[in-house]
Structure 1
Amino acid sequence: MAGLSGDHAPAPGRGRSETIEEKADRQWGELIQELRVALTGVQILFGFLLTVVFTPRFTELSDANRTIYIVTVLLGSAATGALIGPVAIHRQVSGRRIKPQAVIWASRLTFVGLVLLLCTLTSALFLILRVAMNDPFAPVLVAAVLAWYLLCWFVLPVWARRHHGDEVPADDHDDGPSR
């Protein structure tokens, strides 16, 4: 496979000419840029969620809405942990010559963080619409927004990979370096 031997010569039509280490460095940089976007969103949402419990209206929430709030805060906390996890991985394995493996672990943890962020956003929206609308139509709106998130975050990327995957070398997908 191209790049696995550490040389710079890719197979014909096989993409970039980079070593495993160069590929890991590039993928790490790309992952960190993606995490900056996701972390900003999750931290703002989580910070907002933490303040809600201290508002006077919080005591007026029904037991069901308090339960939804607690679940939402726990999901937000888990998402924050998962999305900060790759930084901790990098810090603790830095200099140990295992960056290709660290990229794989961090990429998987980032994916888990995005799923948890999806759940947090959906749960927060559900709570907000239940309180704001007090209408049985709220779950329908939440389901529509959830479908939109799923389309943007998962369906379109999977579709693009399937329909244009032949344009990307098999060993150059962004789910981590090849083994």
Structure 2
Amino acid sequence: MTGTGGGDGRRRGRDETEEERADRKWGELIQEVRVAQTGVQILFGFLLTVVFTPKYAQLGETDRLIYIVTVCLGSCATGALIGPVSLHRLVVGRRVKPQAVRLASRLTFIGLVLLLITMTSSLLLILRVATHDEYVPYLVVPVVVWYLLCWYGLPLWARHRHTSR
């Protein structure tokens, strides 16, 4: 079989139409969003309950501010990660799937960034309340670095390393 990408006999890329590519990418995107949606919804649900606990009344002003910011971030992350579903519902059958996939992909990326920030502020708040110590940032920073490596560093490295020229 003659390849389209050089003399080594292997094909490069997929032989698919723009619509077929959009269908495939949509399916992949929805699978990814399902994982992130579950996590953000569980986290957001727990965050919403905190205000109704006796411990909330004992929080200092800084911790209450961190909590309010965290809840707002969690709400925004939830909206961005559920957004692709609404987008699909509103444009299905309109022959705009390639454009919808691009928009949904951007919403998902924004949702993941917001989820990262939400998880960071949640961890900060929880450790501040649990320890009341000044070493909390030294615990939070390595976790955030780990998230950044797992979510962005490794994927960007793989993209750079393994993307065919």
Aligned equivalents of 1:50, 1:59: Cα separation in 2: 14
User: How far apart are 1:11 and its partner, in Å?
Assistant: 3.5
Instruction: Give 1:37's aligned residue.
Output: 35
- Cα distance in 2, alignment partners of residues 91 and 74 from structure 1: 25
Q: How does 1:28-107 map to 2 (within 5 A)?
A: 28-107=26-105
Question: Distance in 2 between the 1:25 and 1:162 partners?
Answer: 25
1:19 and 2:14 equivalent? no
- What TM-score do the two structures reach when normalised by structure 1? 0.86
Return the match for 1:158 from 156, 159, 164: 156
Deviations 1:41-72 (A, max 9, x none): 00000000000000011100000000000000
Is 2:108 the partner of 1:125?
A: no
1:172 — aligned with what? none
* One-letter amino acid of the structure 2 residue matched with residue 98 of structure 1: V
Give the Cα separation in 2 of the matches to 1:53 and 1:15: 51
Q: Which whole-Å CA distance do the structure 1 matches of 2:79 and 2:110 have between them?
A: 10
- Is residue 2:115 matched to residue 1:110? no
Alpha-carbon deviation of 1:15?
1.7
Kindly tell me the number of residue pairs found equivalent between the two proteins: 158
Gaps of 5+ in 2: 6-10
Q: Secondary structure at the match of 2:81?
A: helix
| SS class of match (1:14) | coil
Counterpart pick for 1:149 among 147, 150, 155? 147
The runs of 4+ residues in structure 1 deviating greater than 6 Å are none
Residues 47-106 of structure 1 deviation map (CA, whole Å, 9 limit, x = unaligned): 000000000111000000000000000000000000001111101110000100100000
Alpha-carbon distance, 1:108 to partner = 0.5
Amino acid in the other structure paired with 1:122: T
**TM-score, length-normalised on structure 2?**
0.93
CA–CA separation in structure 1 for the residues paired with 2:55 and 2:87: 40
What SS does the corresponding residue of 2:12 show, helix, strand or coil? Answer: coil
Tell me how far apart the structure 1 counterparts of residues 117 and 84 of structure 2 sit (CA, whole Å): 20
For CA contacts below 8 A with separation 6 or more, give which structure has more relative contact order.
1
2:114 alignment partner AA: L
Letter of the 2:68 partner, please give it: I
What RMSD, in angstroms, separates the aligned Cα atoms of the two structures? Answer: 1.1
Aligned amino acid, residue 28 of structure 1: W
Larger mean CA deviation between 125-134 and 13-22 belongs to 13-22
